[in-house]
Amino acid sequence: RALPSGDHSEESALIDVIFLLSGGEKRGSYGMAVLESLNNWLRHRSNRHLAERVNLLQGSILEPSDFWRSAAPSSTAIVIIANLYSRDPNVEDSENVVRVLSVKQRLPDVRVMCLLNKAQNYSLLKTADLTRRDVVCLDEFKLQVISKGCVVPGFS
Residue 73 lies in a domain: yes
Average pLDDT of the residues in 53-69: 86
Q: What is the pLDDT of the chain when averaged over all its residues?
A: 81
Q: How many CB atoms lie within 10 A of CB 33?
A: 15
CA distance 8 to 13: 9
Give Rg (Cα) of the chain: 17
Query: Which residues are bridge partners to 116 per DSSP?
Result: 137
On whether the pTM is more than 0.95, the answer is: no
Residue 4 lies in a domain: no
Q: Which domain holds residue 51?
A: 15-150
Reduce the DSSP state of residue 153 to 3 states and report it.
coil
Residue 6 lies in a domain: no
The total domain count for the chain is: 1
Residue 76 contacts residue 107 (beta carbons within 8 Å): no
Residue 29 lies in a domain: yes
Residue 155 lies in a domain: no
Residue 39 lies in a domain: yes
Residue 3 lies in a domain: no
Residue 128 lies in a domain: yes
Q: How many CB atoms lie within 10 A of CB 67?
A: 19
Average pLDDT of the residues in 122-145: 84
Predicted confidence at residue 3, as pLDDT, reads 46
CA distance 32 to 23: 7
Q: Is the pLDDT confidence value at 114 over 80?
A: yes
For 130, residues 6+ apart whose C-beta sits below 8 A from its C-beta are 100, 104, 112, 113, 114
- Residue 102: band (very low, low, confident or very high) from pLDDT cuts 50, 70, 90: very high
Element (H, E) at 103: helix 89-106
Type of residue found at 96: N
User: Which CATH number characterizes residue 30's domain?
Assistant: 3.40.50.720
pLDDT digits (tens, 9 = 90+) for 16-57: 788 887 765 555 566 677 778 888 888 888 887 877 888 878
